[in-house]
Amino acid sequence: MVIFFFSIIMITMMFYLINIANLNTTAAFAIDDSDSLLPYNNSKLNFSIKYPSTWELIEKRVHPELENTSSTIEIKSPFEGSQDLLQEEFLISINKLQENITFNDYVDNALNEFKNEYKDFQLISNNLTKIDNHNGIKLSYSYIAGEDPLRIKLIMNHNIISDGNLVYVLSFGTTPDKYYEYSSLIQKMINSFNIFE
C-alpha cells in the first residue's frame, strides 16, 4: 500500500532527525552553500545527484528488483556541536507505484497520512513542480515532533516526482530557525537531481 511506503520515509526521517546532540562535542559548524558538491550516481536506482562534500551519504536497502520495495539514500549534514539538537538529512526515497494507484493517489494518501499522524500539522504549500523535466508535487508543512522536554518544531519539504511506475521523493526537514539558512544549499541539490533516460 502507498501509505506503507510513505511510512518508511517518515519513520526514517523521525529516527534520524531526532538525534540528540552529544553534549561532549564542541565543534563549531557554519552552513556554507559554497562547499564543493560531489557527484553521486546510482545506476541501479537510475538517478544522479550532487551533494556537499562535507556531508555523509548512506545507502539504505537498495533492492530495485524487489516489487514495491522502498530504497532510501540518506545524505547527512555535519554535526554542528553541543548546541545542535538534530542532525539534518536530505533523503532520496524511491518507491514503486502499486497497481491501480496513480501518482495523484500516492500524493493524496501521503498528505492525508501526514495530517493524521503529525502533531500540530500545518500545511504551508502544495504546489506543482518540475525537476529534471519530470512533473511532480512539492509539499511543505510544519509539525511538532517528540515530547517534552524534547519537543521540537520541524519544517518539512517533500519534492515528489513521477517517472512511470516509480516515485522519487526528495525530502528535507529542519527547525524553523535553520530552514532558510539551508534553503539555498538544498535547492542546489534538488536542481542537480537527474533521472537517467
> Grid coordinates 502499486 are at which residue?
98
C-alpha cell at 37: 558538491
What does the domain layout of the chain look like in residue ranges? 2-19+36-195
Chain centre distance of CA 103: 18
% of the chain with per-residue pLDDT over 70:
75
Distance between CA 197 and CA 27 in Å, rounded? 42
Parts of the chain with a pLDDT under 50: 1-5, 7-30, 66-67
Q: Answer left, alpha or beta for residue 164, where phi above 0 means left and psi between -120 and 50 means alpha.
A: left
Q: What is the pTM of this model?
A: 0.81
Fold (topology level) of 2-19+36-195: Protein Transport Mog1p; Chain A (3.40.1000)
- pLDDT, one tens digit per residue, over 114-170 is 999 999 999 999 999 999 999 999 999 999 998 887 788 999 999 999 998 899 999
